[in-house]
Amino acid sequence: MKIRSIKVYHVAMPLKNAWCTAYGEDDCIESILVCMTGGENQGWGESSPLRAPTYSSEWARGVFIIVRDWLAPQLIGQDVTSGKQLQGLLSWVKGNYFAKGGLDLAWWDLYARSQGKPLWKLVGGRTSAVDVGADIGVMESLDALLVEIDKTQEAGFKRIKLKYRPGWDLNMLSAVREKFPDVIIHVDCNGAYTLSDISMFRHLDCYDLAMIEQPLAHDDLFDHAKLQQNIHTPVCLDESIVSLEKARKAIELKACRWVNIKPCRVGGLTNALAIHDLCQDAGVPCWVGGMLESAVGQAHNLALATLPNIRYPSDIFPSSRFYRHDLAEPEIVLSGPSQITATDEPGIGCEPHPERLQRHLIEMAVIE
Ligand code: MG
């Protein structure tokens, strides 16, 4: 399948409410959408590293430039027949996983559409229905948080994830556990702590958490291994796992007992699948995270979440959770309590809505 053209879009999607975490506050999500044309088909990918380099060292405008100037030109005119081949063509560029991810995901959608198959079936998914959880950011008050958790319980979510940071930590969790003693909960620290906080993490063992997500620095493995040796609650790595190599080292070091896989964080679906398989062979269960993408990015995440070693409800959300209107259509909707179902249409089964893409556009480029 010869790649004829690649269009790159840098967009800003306004959120219904500001999203507040340990790394900062966003009132819109800046994302990169990639449209790849090959043969008679088009495929869409999305990579959402956020506006500023606060979640990782990558950021939306930086990803746009790397894709436009360095990565996309490598693919034009190439007959790409596998994700591995595509990754090989991009491998001369060091790092820049989010940038590579946008292109890799667009290729997978293009490939699945050219085969006339839903992406989730093409990658070996078991069943189209996927368990999903609720994710609650740092809120203005404990009362507001408890009301929000109440809503997730009424809606039947199988687990809740709470953002956790200095000042919104043990007191918050103690109030939540008092009111909701039996709910499956985990916390996401987004790298806000260091090993000097080890006594706080030992104390977290009392709260019966499913896991502690990314407690220490975004690029660390070694200290996470030390922390895991000292606490009973499983550590889950998110930010630290940017590649198959990092996943292998994390497993060898025993730095975590869970891995959160985000296709765009690890350079695309090709690498996400490899990490999934590596973890499965090592007996390390996974689940799928998200970056508040539009339905395009979430549809890719959904395809990954149909795989057998995804063993915890994923961070895939109905579009209405964060957006008044999703940039893409059809929107992501719940298909049951705590459940979203992958499409039976070819590829990811969704595309940006042309008018909304224009409305939210910051910059675009065509590489042919
Ligand atoms: Mg996380």
Q: Note whether 141 and 106 are same-domain residues.
A: no
pLDDT value of residue 213: 98
Q: Note whether 132 and 74 are same-domain residues.
A: no
Ramachandran sector of residue 199 (left: φ over 0; alpha: ψ -120 to 50; beta: rest): alpha
Q: CB of 7 within 8 A of CB of 174?
A: no
**Ligand 1 midpoint to CA 5 (Å):** 33
The 3-class secondary structure across the chain, one letter per residue, is: CEEEEEEEEEEEEEEEEEEEECCEEEEEEEEEEEEEEECCEEEEEEECCCCCCCCCCCCHHHHHHHHHHHHHHHHCCCECCCHHHHHHHHCCCCCCHHHHHHHHHHHHHHHHHHHCCEHHHHCCCCCCEEEECEEECCCCCHHHHHHHHHHHHHCCCCCEEEECECCECHHHHHHHHHHCCCCCEEEECCCCCCHHHHHHHHHHHHHCCCCEECCCCCCCCHHHHHHHHHCCCCEEECCCCCCHHHHHHHHHHCCCCEEEECCCCCCCHHHHHHHHHHHHHHCCCEEECCCCCCHHHHHHHHHHHCCCCECCCECCCCHHHCCCCCCEECCCCCCECCEEECCCCCECCCEECHHHHHHCEEEEEEEC
**Ligand 1 midpoint to CA 213 (Å):** 6
Mean pLDDT (10-residue bins), the chain, 368 residues? 96 94 91 96 97 96 98 98 98 97 98 98 96 96 97 96 96 97 97 98 97 98 98 98 98 98 98 98 98 98 98 97 97 97 97 98 98
Q: Note whether 90 and 185 are same-domain residues.
A: no
**Ligand 1 midpoint to CA 21 (Å):** 10
pLDDT value of residue 351: 98
Q: CB of 342 within 8 A of CB of 125?
A: yes
Domain-located, residue 349: no
Number of domains in the chain: 2
Q: Can you state the angle between helices 97-115 and 83-90, rounded to 10 degrees?
A: 150
- Surrounding ion ligand 1 within 5 Å at CB are 188, 213, 238
**Ligand 1 midpoint to CA 354 (Å):** 31
Per the residue annotation, which of 163, 179, 226, 254 is the catalytic one? 163
Q: Note whether 28 and 155 are same-domain residues.
A: no
**Ligand 1 midpoint to CA 229 (Å):** 21
Q: Note whether 93 and 206 are same-domain residues.
A: no
pTM: 0.97
For 251-295, the pLDDT digits (tens) are: 999 999 999 999 999 999 999 999 999 999 999 999 999 999 999
Q: Note whether 81 and 108 are same-domain residues.
A: yes
Is 117 marked active-site? no
Domain-located, residue 347: no
Domain-located, residue 51: yes
Domain-located, residue 346: no
State the Cα–Cα distance between residues 80 and 99, nearest whole angstrom. Answer: 18
Domain-located, residue 89: yes
Q: Note whether 323 and 358 are same-domain residues.
A: no
State the Cα–Cα distance between residues 330 and 346, nearest whole angstrom. Answer: 14
Domain-located, residue 172: yes
Q: Note whether 264 and 297 are same-domain residues.
A: yes
Q: Note whether 13 and 111 are same-domain residues.
A: yes
Biggest alpha carbon–alpha carbon distance for the chain = 60
Residue 38 tokens read as 């090959």
- Cβ neighbours of residue 276 under 8 Å, at least 6 residues apart? 261, 286, 304, 307, 309, 310
**Ligand 1 midpoint to CA 173 (Å):** 17
Domain-located, residue 22: yes
Sign of CA dihedral 226, 229, 231, 237: positive
Is 262 marked active-site? yes
Domain-located, residue 20: yes
Q: Note whether 32 and 154 are same-domain residues.
A: no
Q: Please calculate the CA angle 335-339-341 and round it to the nearest 5 degrees.
A: 60
Q: Note whether 268 and 359 are same-domain residues.
A: no
Which residues constitute the domain of residue 242?
121-341
- Cβ neighbours of residue 359 under 8 Å, at least 6 residues apart? none
State the Cα–Cα distance between residues 216 and 239, nearest whole angstrom. Answer: 10
pLDDT value of residue 23: 84
Sign of CA dihedral 298, 299, 300, 301: positive
Of 253, 217, 252, 258, give the one whose Cα is nearest residue 234. 258
pLDDT value of residue 24: 86
Q: Give CA separation, 320 vs 16, 118, 131, 187, in Å.
A: 9, 24, 17, 23
- What is the CATH classification number for the domain harbouring 273? 3.20.20.120
**Ligand 1 midpoint to CA 281 (Å):** 23
Q: Note whether 125 and 111 are same-domain residues.
A: no
- What is the CATH classification number for the domain harbouring 101? 3.30.390.10
Per the residue annotation, which of 7, 100, 161, 262 is the catalytic one? 262
Q: How crowded is residue 213: how many other Cβ atoms within 10 Å of its Cβ?
A: 28
